[in-house]
Amino acid sequence: MKTKVVYVTGAPASGKSTTINRLLDGRSDIELWEYSQRLMDYVNVTRSDAVTHNSLRQSSAALLHPEDIAAVDKLLIEFVARNRDEKHVLIDSHPLTREEYGFRCTAFSALQIQAIAPDEIWVLYADPQTTISRIDASGGGRKAVDVEHARMHTYLQASIATNYGVAVGRPVYFFDSTASQDDLVKRLANRLL
């Protein structure tokens, strides 16, 4: 079996976690690296101040230090190296966070993304109104957004993913997550064939 390393990203409420969980359902040929969970686990083991998903979504820049992100980036590179020949590796990550002052980007360096060497990059996106509706319905600690913030977050996240694709010479695929969830999961599964 030819395995792939796939970097999966999207702005908050793009449907990334829901879609990935559906894709993983019943499959044993995929290893998932959920960046925010690994970062939270790392911080909770190395520091005394507990961090939760909600607290990260509310004030990421205030809770995380550059050293935390650098350490987890190193762990990710090691994880990919260990697993890439055995199973597909999906990396669920979004280096752009909305902060009280605007946005913050903690992207991989060119050397880091080249070490990860994704075969493909998938960007999930939704229109601003869908994003707003999803956050209002089940925000999970996410900050409420308006149309401009939702649009800006999506565009910035897409631009980071595109830069990663350029840095490694690999394709970037953009998937509309407002389409049928079954169709979207089938499209993604077909990319792993």
pLDDT, tens digit (0-9, with 9 covering 90-100), for 62-86: 888 899 999 999 999 999 999 999 9
Query: What is the per-residue pLDDT for 80?
Result: 98
Place of tokens 């909770």: 44
CB-CB contact of 140 with 57 (8 Å) = yes
**What is the model's pLDDT at position 104?**
92
Are 39 and 72 within 8 A, CB to CB?
Answer: yes
| 183 Cβ contact list (under 8 Å, min separation 6) | none
Predicted local distance difference test score (pLDDT) of residue 49? 79
Number of H helices, E strands in the chain: 8, 7
pLDDT at residue 117 in the model: 98
pLDDT of residue 50: 81
183 three-class SS: helix
Q: Which residue has the tokens 């230090």?
A: 65
**Residues of the chain where predicted confidence (pLDDT) is lower than 70:** 139
In the chain, the domains with their CATH numbers are 5-191 (3.40.50.300)
